[in-house]
Amino acid sequence: MVTPPSGGNLDLQNEMLPLGEYIFLRVLQANPNMKTILGIPGDFNLNLMEHMYASSVALKARFVGLCNELNAAYTACGYARRMSAMSVLITTYGVGELSALNGIAGAFAEYSPVLHIVGTTRIVQKQAAESITDPLQVWNIHHLVQNKNPLKSSDHQVYEKLVEPFSVAQESLIWDGEENASGVNLDKIDRVLVKIIQESRPGYLFIPADIPDTKVPKSRLSVPLDVAELKDEISKNTLQSLVSRILNKLCLAREPSVLVDALVSRFGYAQELSSFILTLPAYYVKLFSTNCGRFSDETLVNFVGTYAGGMSPTKEIKTLLEDETDFLLHLGKFNVEVNYKSDFSRIRDVVVVHPDYIYIDGEYIYTKDFTTDSRIFSIGDFLKELTTQTDVLGFIHHAPHVGNINYKYNPKLFHDPKTLKVNGVVTQKYLVDFFNSYLQPNDVLVCDTCTFQFALADLKIPKGVQFVSQSFFGSIGYALPATLGVSLAEKDLGAKRRVILVEGDGSAQMTVQEWSSYLRNDIQPPKIFLLNNSGYTVERLIEGPTRSYNDIQSTWQWTEILKIFGDAECKKHTSAKLSTIKEFDDYFIKQNHMNSPNDKIEFLELVLGKLDAPERFEAMVNFRTLC
C-alpha cells in the first residue's frame, strides 16, 4: 500500500488561496515588471479589490485609483505602451466598464496589451435571473439595463457581449463544478493573459462579485504561463524557409530598403528589430520609419526619414523609397490612415511582414490560424531568425556599393527653419524647431491627437526616444491620462527617462482631472506642454474655422490647475505661461530649463494662435486624406 508523502511538501501542495489573490498573483506573473494595479472601485468589484491587500500581492504591487474609468483605461494603455507589457485595469459592472470602453477600443486599435477586469453581478444573481418564470419576481439590479420586455429578466451578460470587437479574449469566471476550489476553471485566466500578450491587445476577465473568496490551489501558480508561439519543428521549418527566401531577395537586391512600421515595437520587439538592423550593412540598406512606427534609432547613418507616401516630410524621402528601391522589406505593417497610402508600384519586389501574415512573391502566407486563433510564430521569432541568418550569411560578398559607408542621408525637414522669425509669438512651426533641440536620447514623448501630432514626422529624434500617441484611433484627451500611465511605469521600471506630454487645450479639458493623480502618486514627474489655442484647432482647419462648435471655454487659468488639485505651494510642480519667442528663450535658455531636473512636474502653457498649425498639418488638410 502506497502512503502519500507526509509533512511540509504535502501541505504546500494542498495549500489553497482565495481566487482573488490568485488572480492578482497570476497577473503579476504575466508582467513581472508590473507594480501598479489601476482601477476604480464599485460595489461589484470590492470583493475582488480586497485581495490586493493580501501581503503576497501588496508586497509586489500598489493600487492606483483614477478619477474616472475612461481616464483609467487611457492610463492603463499608457502604462502598457511604456512597458511594452501588459497592464491591468479594474472597473465595475455596467457603469464602469462602459465608461472605459472607448479607452479599450483605442488600446485594441493601437495594439496595447491591457487586461480589463470587470466585477460583475453575483453568480447567484445571474442564476436567479435565468430561473425566473413569474414576472412578479423580476427585479432589476442597479447598473444593469432592463430587458426591453419588462416582464422578463434582464440579460446579465449584456455588457460582456459588447466587447468582442475590441478585445482578443474574454472569459467570465463561474463555479464550473461545485462551489469549491476545483469548480473554478483557472485555465480561463491563463487563456486571457496569454492571448493579451501574444496579440498585444486588450482582453477581458469578468469576475462575479461572489467568486473572489473561493479557494483555489496555490500550486497552480507554479505552472508557467505558456506564451511561446513557435512550438513545433514544422513551424520552425516554415519560419526558417521564409526567412531564407526573404534574405535571398535582400542579398540579391541592388537598392534594398527596410521600412520599419508600428507593429514591431507595439508587440514589444523593438530590441529584436534593432539587433536585425545593426546586422545589416549600413552602406547599402536604406532605412525608413512610418508616422506610427518611428524607429528607436533614427541617428543611424542609413536612416533616411519618415515615409508617408505623398505626405512624406520631403520629396527626397518619397523618391528614395518609391523610385530608388528595388527590394523593400516592410516590417510590422500598420495599414492605417495616418501612415498615409504608400505607392510601392514601381518597386520591383516587396515583402511585407505583419504579425499575422507574410506577403511574399504576390502571395499572402498567414502566420496566424484564424480558425484555431493561434500563431505559428511571432514577429519576434521572425526577427530573431532573420538576425541569426543575416549574421551567418554576412553581406560583404554581395554588397554592390562597398565604400559608401560614410554616406549619411539628411533630407531637409518639411519646413525650412531659416524662414522662422526669432521674435514675435510662438508658432507651431517654431515648436518643431524647438523640439528638435529639446528632445534628448531616451525621452518618452506622449502627444495627443492635436495639431502638433502632425509635426512629429518633422522631428529628427535622438536615439531611444519613445513616442506614445493614438495617431490612428485618435481619441482626444488620451494623452493626459496616458502620460500618467507612462510616468507610473517609468517609476515601476526604476528608469529615469524624461516623460514629455504635448497636449491641446481642447483635448486637456476632456480628461483634466487626471492631473490630480499626477500629484497623488509617486511617478516620474513629466514635462507638460499645454498648447492653448482656444479650441479645436485640428477641426477649425478642416471645417468651420470660426464656428462656435469649435470653441471651448477658453478662460481657464491653466497654470493654476495643479495648485487647486492639491499643490498650492508648488512643492511638486512648477508652472509658466509662454506666449512669445522671447519668453521661450528667457525660460529655456536664460533660465536654463532645456534640461530641468526631473524632481518636479514642469507645467508650461504655450499660448498659440487659433488657426496656427504645423506646415505638415496644413498640407495634410489640402491633401484631403481626412474625412
Question: Which residues in the 13-72 window bind a copy of itself by CB under 8 A?
Answer: 39, 41-44, 46-47, 49-50, 52-53, 62-63, 65, 67-68, 70
Q: Which residues contact 558 (CB under 8 A, 6 or more apart)?
A: 505, 508, 530, 532, 577, 603, 605
Find out whether 565 and 515 touch, Cβ atoms under 8 Å. yes
Residue 413 or 512 having the CB closest to a copy of itself = 512
Find out whether 195 and 169 touch, Cβ atoms under 8 Å. yes
Residue 139 or 623 having the CB closest to a copy of itself = 139
**By the rule CB under 8 A, 338 interacts with a copy of itself:** yes
Residue 349 CB, nearest approach to a copy of itself (Å): 14
The one among 185, 230, 244, 357 contacting a copy of itself by CB under 8 A: 357
**By the rule CB under 8 A, 204 interacts with a copy of itself:** no
Cα–chain center distance at 468: 7
Residue 428 CB, nearest approach to a copy of itself (Å): 19
Find out whether 513 and 68 touch, Cβ atoms under 8 Å. yes
Q: Could you say which residues in the range 220-259 bind a copy of itself, by CB under 8 A?
A: none
Q: Find the helix or strand (DSSP H, E) in which 515 lies.
A: helix 515-520
- Binding mask of the shown chain, residues 364 to 403, with x at each position contacting a copy of itself by CB under 8 A: x-----x---------------------------------
Residue 513 or 596 having the CB closest to a copy of itself = 513
Q: Choose one: 4-12, 165-173, 279-287, 408-416; the region binding a copy of itself (CB under 8 A).
A: 165-173
The one among 13, 14, 142, 591 contacting a copy of itself by CB under 8 A: 142
Q: Choose one: 171-179, 378-386, 406-414, 468-476; the region binding a copy of itself (CB under 8 A).
A: 468-476
Q: Which residues contact 358 (CB under 8 A, 6 or more apart)?
A: 242, 246, 351, 352, 364, 365, 367, 382
Find out whether 176 and 185 touch, Cβ atoms under 8 Å. yes
Q: Choose one: 135-143, 318-326, 479-487, 526-534; the region binding a copy of itself (CB under 8 A).
A: 135-143
Residue 271 CB, nearest approach to a copy of itself (Å): 24
The one among 9, 10, 13, 139 contacting a copy of itself by CB under 8 A: 139
**By the rule CB under 8 A, 453 interacts with a copy of itself:** no
Residue 567 grid cell: 499643490
DSSP assignment, residue 163?
-
Residue 222 CB, nearest approach to a copy of itself (Å): 29
Find out whether 302 and 409 touch, Cβ atoms under 8 Å. yes
Residue 79 or 473 having the CB closest to a copy of itself = 473
Q: Which residues contact 496 (CB under 8 A, 6 or more apart)?
A: 490, 524, 598
Find out whether 103 and 513 touch, Cβ atoms under 8 Å. no
170 phi and psi, to 5 degrees? Answer: -140, 125
Residue 505 annotated as lining a ligand binding site? yes
Q: Choose one: 2-10, 266-274, 479-487, 537-545; the region binding a copy of itself (CB under 8 A).
A: 537-545
CA pseudo-torsion sign 411, 414, 419, 423? negative
Q: Could you say which residues in the range 166-185 bind a copy of itself, by CB under 8 A?
A: 166, 168
**By the rule CB under 8 A, 127 interacts with a copy of itself:** no
Residue 350 or 461 having the CB closest to a copy of itself = 350
Task: Give me the amino acid identity at 79.
Answer: Y
Residue 406 or 553 having the CB closest to a copy of itself = 553
Helix (H, G, I), strand (E, B) or coil at 56: helix
**By the rule CB under 8 A, 542 interacts with a copy of itself:** yes
Q: How many C-beta atoms lie closer than 10 Å to residue 596's C-beta?
A: 16
HSE-up of 377 (CA within 13 Å, CB side)?
A: 24
HSE-up of 287 (CA within 13 Å, CB side)?
A: 26
**By the rule CB under 8 A, 560 interacts with a copy of itself:** yes
Residue 199 or 612 having the CB closest to a copy of itself = 199
Q: Could you say which residues in the range 469-488 bind a copy of itself, by CB under 8 A?
A: 472-477
Residue 402 or 564 having the CB closest to a copy of itself = 564
**By the rule CB under 8 A, 150 interacts with a copy of itself:** yes
Compute how many residues bind a copy of itself; rule: CB under 8 A.
103
Q: Which residues contact 162 (CB under 8 A, 6 or more apart)?
A: 101
Q: Choose one: 214-222, 265-273, 385-393, 539-547; the region binding a copy of itself (CB under 8 A).
A: 539-547
| Angle at 435 (CA atoms; ends 257, 464), nearest 5 degrees | 50
The 3-state secondary structure of 293-306 reads: CCCCCCCCCCEEEE
**By the rule CB under 8 A, 564 interacts with a copy of itself:** yes
Residue 521 CB, nearest approach to a copy of itself (Å): 9
For the chain, first and last CA: distance in Å? 78
The one among 160, 326, 433, 539 contacting a copy of itself by CB under 8 A: 539
Residue 322 CB, nearest approach to a copy of itself (Å): 15
**By the rule CB under 8 A, 149 interacts with a copy of itself:** yes
CB crowding 25-50: b at 16 or more within 10 Å, else e: bbbbbbbeebbbbbbbbbebbebbbe
The one among 335, 388, 404, 574 contacting a copy of itself by CB under 8 A: 335
Radius of gyration over alpha carbons of the chain, in Å?
26
Q: Could you say which residues in the range 304-323 bind a copy of itself, by CB under 8 A?
A: none
The one among 337, 433, 585, 618 contacting a copy of itself by CB under 8 A: 337
Residue 520 CB, nearest approach to a copy of itself (Å): 4
Bridge partner list, 530: 503, 605
**By the rule CB under 8 A, 348 interacts with a copy of itself:** no
The 3-state secondary structure of 426-490 reads: CCHHHHHHHHHHHCCCCCEEEECCCHHHHHHHHCCCCCCCEEECCCCCCCCCCHHHHHHHHHHHH
Q: How many C-beta atoms lie closer than 10 Å to residue 411's C-beta?
A: 18
Which of 601, 606, 501, 612 is CA-nearest to residue 558?
606
Q: Could you say which residues in the range 492-511 bind a copy of itself, by CB under 8 A?
A: 509-511
Residue 142 or 231 having the CB closest to a copy of itself = 142
The one among 10, 12, 151, 589 contacting a copy of itself by CB under 8 A: 151
Residue 53 CB, nearest approach to a copy of itself (Å): 7
CA pseudo-torsion sign 216, 221, 227, 232? negative
Bridge pairing between strands 499-504 and 256-260: unpaired
Residue 140 annotated as lining a ligand binding site? no
Residue 533 annotated as lining a ligand binding site? yes
Residue 242 grid cell: 521564409
Residue 141 or 455 having the CB closest to a copy of itself = 141
Instruction: Specify binding-site residues for Mg(2+).
Output: 505, 533, 535
